[in-house]
Amino acid sequence: MKTPQKPDISSGPRRRLPPAAWAFIIALLLSVFLFFLPYLLSPISHLRLFFFVPLLLFILLCFAAPFFPGWQFFLRTIMHGSRKGKQAALTFDDGPDPETTPALLALLDKHHVKAAFFVIGDKAAHYPELISEILSRGHELGNHSLSHDPLLMLRTSATLFREIEECGRVLEASGVRALAFRPPVGIVNPRLKPVLERLGMFCVGFSVRGGDWGNRKISGLSERILSRVRPGDIVLLHDCRPAGREVSEWLKEVEAVITGIRRKGIEPAKLSALLGRELMIKNK
């Protein structure tokens, strides 16, 4: 399969305005309307004092939206697959890790489950053999930035581009081009959309998480996920050493998630199958 060319964002069909742009236009129009309304209806001239409220609400919305990517405010973020089927996808962030990845791969093999691993570029560069093992066992890879900076979305566009591109280069050295990007901590910003377009990538979030705080809180992890999971969900887990706990305890929770999902009549599936689009392209 040929590697597609990066899209030229300066040409091609006109793209739809994101919700953020429409929200600004509406807020601006409402502010103008409230400012000039007193000239038409003098009895309610006091409304002019509130002309700034729509713009203030827009600013507050811009501050809140990065933490809720499901709003699709700045860019389209895939949060789940079709709800009509009987599948869900398991995804693992923050790896690879020599203390957890091999055992996790063995567990997934035991239950015949294929997962998506959104890996950190720096870790992938240190453990290329683990990346190769993930691929050889039929799992999928996604881009989770180079350094997993939790404040990445506060950095410049150039830094954001470099973090994603360099993680992609690490994965390309392992033989794949990642198309899917998951932002660190799940936070987005308005600069992410043009960066991903320039790289020919798309953004993937999640619809169910166990609140494990990067495997810092694994007690009850499976219960929290199983109480909420339903068909079409993208389940967020982590592939890194659990803080203050044994790896075996974490594996039991992951295994409980797999068996519990199946008891609910939901089959763990590849993320690409759930979404109906490829997450990565294997290089020749």
Which of 80, 93, 144, 239 is catalytic? The answer is 93
Which of 139, 144, 148, 238 is catalytic? The answer is 238
* Helix segments in 156-209, DSSP class H: 157-173, 192-199
Task: Extract the tokens encoding 25.
Answer: 């236009």
Q: Is 238 assigned a catalytic role?
A: yes
Q: Is 93 assigned a catalytic role?
A: yes
CA distance 141 to 143: 7
Owner of token pair 């689009």: 277
CA distance 79 to 72: 10
CB-CB neighbours of 178 under 10 Å: 25
Angle at 230 between CA 188 and CA 247, to 5 degrees: 75
- Reduced to 3 states, what is the DSSP secondary structure of residue 123? helix
Active site residues: 93, 238
